[in-house]
Structure 1
Amino acid sequence: MGTGDPLGMEAAHTQASGMHGMRAAGDLVARMQMTRRMRLKEAKQYVADKLHCTTRDLSDPIAMELLRAEHGLGQLPFTSAVQPDEPGMIEAKFNISELLDIPINSVERFKNHAHVERVARG
Structure 2
Amino acid sequence: MDVTYRMAAGMGGLRTSGDLVARTQLDKKMQIDEGKKYVAEKLGIDVTDLSDEIAMRKAREENGIGLPIATPGKPKGFAAKKNIKELFDFDIRSIEALT
The TM-score range, normalised by the shorter chain, is 0.7 to 0.9
Deviation readout 1:59-99 (Å, 9 max, x if unpaired): 1111101100000000011xxx501x211110000000000
TM-score, length of structure 1 as denominator length: 0.72
The AA in structure 1 aligned to 2:67 is Q
TM-score scaled by length of structure 2: 0.88
Identity percentage over the alignment? 45
The alignment yields a C-alpha RMSD, in angstroms, of: 1.9
2:82 equivalent in structure 1: 94
Listed one character per residue, the Cα deviations across residues 26-65 of structure 1 (whole Å, up to 9, x for unaligned) are 0000111101100000000000000010111111111101
- Write the letter of the residue equivalent to 1:76: P
Structure 1 unaligned residues grouped into runs of 5+ = 1-12, 112-122
- Which is greater in Rg? 1
Distance 1:66 1:99 in 2: 16
- Where 1:56 maps in the other structure, the secondary structure is helix
For 2:86, the aligned partner's letter is E
Counterpart for residue 50 of structure 1: 42
- In structure 2, the partner of 1:3 is none
List alignment gaps of at least 5 residues for structure 2: none
Partner residue, 2:71: 82
Q: Is the 8 Å Cα contact of residues 50 and 100 (structure 1) preserved in structure 2?
A: yes
Aligned to 2:96: 108
CA separation in 2, counterparts of 1:15 and 1:102?
A: 19
